[in-house]
């Protein structure tokens, strides 16, 4: 049931590649940057690539974890979300308020529909198998918790463009929006995906038998609450406490991830390196925050550094993580008879991380910032390119297989022709309606 979402994920990944290359060329003046490109690039990744993948995978993961039949495709959710996203992306460059409100509203409703589907699966499992199955499979909490923060992110994000922030009494709305979407939605849903994915890869639960999953979940949920409350109320200590709690949850999961990779030699591959190393960039704000505050001067403003570090989280963390998991799910969906494996290569790993390092360095050296940013965006594009080629080949292979296994049967005077293309126009019977004979 995740195929329609994964197809849209591939489309938005292609658009991400295009705007990433454009950003590289625009940084050195080779072509003008598109209007609103910064926000388009961010939303191609977060609402396009990431959220499309999440919408497709969560019902499938949940049904499988609760030992239920595969969840049916909810076309209303798919249509609402994709229409809303298209309308939103049309409205963002020109800051068209009606388009932004309409798009944000449709996306909000689609998220509610997805949450309703997950809750319905959970209730079905309890009715059929008792509460024990839900106690054993606790990942639904990660998914519902992450979607709850995504709802808040949509409300705050929509308000950024049309003045809701004052009505909601949000002191620093942009920071609230970023914290809600990245530390709330993305980090928590990634934790759930890893928790579900690892039994397939290692035949062993990521967090073992100590129910550390609930500790991770609680730390991340409460941590995000602090990270959102702090800038919402313009109070420092909730954000600091929240960052500490969230980091604790992330480190517990990351430590278990590294332990499994070290203990299982077969797990030491580029895909697993993508998953593990991508978290370096999520943890980077915690590592460098004291240094940035200590160095804050008029010549080195904190706001300039923190306000322009978003692409590092987008490419260094989200895209690098996605480079590993997307090919796995594409293989599992479109070529189920083959053993799926994590995507990524050592070359893409180097491209993504070196690009992130260069972009980070550009924040501290304004004199050469344009050239460094151009290099960073080009390396990120180079890291994306193998995945785009791989997904194209997979899609083409599926289409070719369908074409080879499908015969259009046409009745003729001499018998049946297998392909309409084998006949001339005069030989095709009048009023013919072809039938597919597999």
For the segment 203-221, what is each residue's pLDDT rounded down to a tens digit? 556 555 556 788 899 999 9
At 405, is the pLDDT very low, low, confident or very high (cuts 50, 70, 90)? low
277 sits in which H/E element: helix 270-294
Name the average pLDDT for the chain. Answer: 80
pLDDT of residue 61 exceeding 50: yes
Residues of the chain with CATH 1.20.210.10: 3-408
H/E stretch holding 415: strand 415-417
Burial label, 111 (beta-carbon count in 10 A; 0-12, 13-18, 19+): buried
Describe the crossing of helices 187-202 and 236-263 by its angle, rounded to 10 degrees. Answer: 10
> In this predicted structure, what is the pLDDT of residue 432?
47
Fold of 3-408: Cytochrome C Oxidase; Chain A (1.20.210)
Choose from 106-120, 337-351, 386-400 the range with maximum mean pLDDT: 106-120
CB 31 within 8 A of CB 25: yes
Measured between alpha carbons, how far is 298 from 295 in angstroms, rounded to an integer? 10
CA–CA dist 186, 45 (Å, integer) = 11
Res 381 pLDDT > 90: yes
pLDDT at 418 over 50: no
Q: How far apart are CA 355 and CA 312, in angstroms?
A: 9
CA proximity to 271, closest of 343, 199, 331, 200: 343
CB 349 within 8 A of CB 277: yes
> Which pLDDT score is estimated for 438?
42
Residue 292 confidence class, pLDDT cut points 50, 70, 90: low
- Give the pLDDT of residue 423: 44
Cβ-contact 8, 54 below 8 angstroms:
no
Is 180 strand, coil or helix?
A: helix
Convert the pLDDT of each residue in 323-376 to its tens digit. Answer: 999 888 887 777 766 677 788 889 999 999 999 999 988 877 878 888 888 899
Q: Distance between CA atoms of 89 and 36, rounded to whole angstroms?
A: 10
pLDDT (0 to 100) of residue 358: 93
Spatial CB neighbours of 35, under 8 Å, sequence gap ≥ 6: 93, 94
pTM of the model: 0.85
State how far the Cα of 17 lies from the Cα of 134, in Å rounded to an integer: 40
The helix/strand/coil state of 411 is strand
């Amino acid at each position: 049931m995740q195929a329609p979402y994964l197809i849209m994920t591939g489309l938005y990944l292609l658009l991400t590649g295009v705007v990433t290359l454009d950003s590289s060329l625009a940084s050195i003046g080779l072509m003008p940057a598109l209007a609103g490109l910064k926000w388009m690039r961010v939303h191609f990744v977060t609402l396009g690539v990431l959220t499309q993948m999440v919408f497709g995978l969560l019902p499938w993961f949940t049904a499988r974890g609760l030992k239920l039949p595969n969840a049916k495709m909810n076309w209303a959710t798919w249509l609402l979300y994709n229409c809303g996203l298209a309308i939103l992306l049309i409205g963002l460059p020109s800051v068209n308020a009606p388009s932004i409100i309409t798009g944000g509203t449709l996306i909000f409703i689609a998220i509610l529909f997805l949450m309703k589907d997950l809750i319905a699966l959970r209730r079905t499992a309890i009715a059929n198998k008792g509460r024990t199955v839900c106690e054993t499979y606790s990942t639904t909490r990660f998914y519902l918790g992450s979607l709850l923060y995504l709802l808040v992110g949509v409300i705050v994000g929509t308000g950024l463009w049309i003045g809701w922030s004052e009505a909601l009494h949000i002191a620093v709305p942009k920071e609230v929006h970023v914290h809600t979407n990245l530390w709330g939605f993305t980090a928590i849903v990634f934790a759930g995906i890893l928790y579900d994915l690892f039994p397939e890869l290692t035949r062993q639960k990521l967090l073992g038998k100590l129910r550390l999953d609930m500790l991770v979940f609680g730390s991340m949920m409460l941590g995000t609450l602090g990270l959102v409350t702090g800038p919402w109320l313009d109070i420092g200590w909730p954000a600091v406490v929240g960052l500490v709690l969230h980091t604790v949850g992330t480190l517990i999961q990351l430590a278990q991830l590294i332990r499994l990779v070290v203990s299982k030699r077969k797990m030491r591959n580029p895909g697993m390196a993508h998953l593990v190393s991508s978290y370096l960039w999520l943890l980077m704000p915690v590592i460098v925050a004291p240094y940035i505050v200590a160095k804050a001067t008029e010549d080195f403003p904190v706001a300039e550094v923190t306000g322009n570090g978003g692409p590092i989280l987008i490419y260094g963390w989200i895209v690098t993580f996605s480079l590993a998991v997307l090919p796995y799910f594409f293989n599992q969906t479109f070529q189920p008879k083959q053993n799926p494996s994590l995507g990524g290569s050592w070359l893409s790993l180097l491209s993504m991380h070196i690009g992130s390092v260069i972009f980070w360095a550009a924040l501290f050296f304004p004199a050469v910032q344009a050239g460094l940013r151009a290099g960073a965006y080009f390396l990120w594009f180079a890291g994306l390119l193998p995945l785009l080629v791989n997904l194209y080949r997979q899609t083409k292979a599926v289409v070719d297989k369908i074409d080879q296994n499908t015969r259009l049967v046409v009745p003729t005077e001499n018998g049946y022709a297998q392909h309409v293309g084998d006949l001339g126009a005069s030989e095709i019977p009048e009023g013919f309606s072809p039938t597919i004979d597999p």
